[in-house]
Amino acid sequence: MAQTLDHRWSKSLKDIYLVHSTFGIKFLVWMARCFVSTKYRSKLIYVQSLEELTCKWLWRRQPYQRN
């Protein structure tokens, strides 16, 4: 995966979201685990719906608030 992405994109990549993933897609990702580094595997997040993706993305984009 690092070879397909430009170095700038690879360094700034925070998460990889798979939306509406089927068993087949999950199985292919599982089979490719020996070809993908653990750094990218840890960034992989399965999301069931676009609403869940929106909630996760908005939660992540909230600025840090000091008390």
pLDDT digits (tens, 9 = 90+) for 22-32: 999 889 988 98
Identify the pLDDT of residue 13: 76
Cβ proximity of 59 and 15 under 8 Å: no
In angstroms, the Cα distances linking 67 to 33, 60, 61, 63 are 42, 19, 18, 13
Residue bearing tokens 């397909």: 4
Q: pLDDT higher for 6 or 54?
A: 54
Structure tokens at 24: 């087949």
| Domain residue ranges in the chain | 19-61
pTM: 0.61
Identify the pLDDT of residue 66: 53
What is the dihedral angle through the alpha carbons of 32, 35, 40, 44, rounded to the nearest 10 degrees?
A: 0
